[in-house]
Amino acid sequence: MEKVSKKVNSLLATQSDDEEIRLQILVRRESDASAVRELADDLAGSALAAGDVRVVPGAGMVMCTVALGTIEEITRRPEVQWVDAVSRAPLHSLLDGG
């Protein structure tokens, strides 16, 4: 799938559509702040996002948790440039001696 990282593509190929994933959605550079806010509002107001939609205005990025089955619909939006999974470091790697 275009506009999607290898990690997300791999999850799409191996996980069920209802599996939830935390995404960072990069909005096209030529889009203004209102386009970023509109995308966030649309995600928050629809069944696409499971919740906790956050805008990172300086980066032109929207972060949200969605079901894998909704990613294709998100990537069809013209203002979306790239979709990637938010990586979280395992707790043991953050602790000294981990």
Q: Could you read off the pLDDT of 30-70 as tens digits, one per residue?
A: 888 888 888 888 888 775 665 688 888 788 899 998 889 99
In a domain, 1, yes or no: no
What pLDDT, in 10s, does the model give residues 6-27? 999 999 999 999 998 999 999 9
Counted domains in the chain: 1
In this structure, the chain runs to a length of 98
Domain encompassing residue 74: 6-87
- Give the model's pLDDT for residue 95: 61
Find the mean pLDDT for residues 70-82. 94
Task: From 80, 78, 98, select the one nearest 90 (Cα to Cα).
Answer: 98
Find the CATH number of the domain harbouring 24: 3.30.70.920
DSSP string, 8-63: HHHHHHHS-TT-EEEEEEEEPTTS-HHHHHHHHHHHHHSSSEEEEEEEEGGGTEEE
Cβ neighbours, 10 Å, residue 24: 18
Residue 95 in domain: no
Residue 10 resides in a domain: yes
Which whole number is the average pLDDT over 63-86? 93
Q: Is residue 94 part of a domain?
A: no
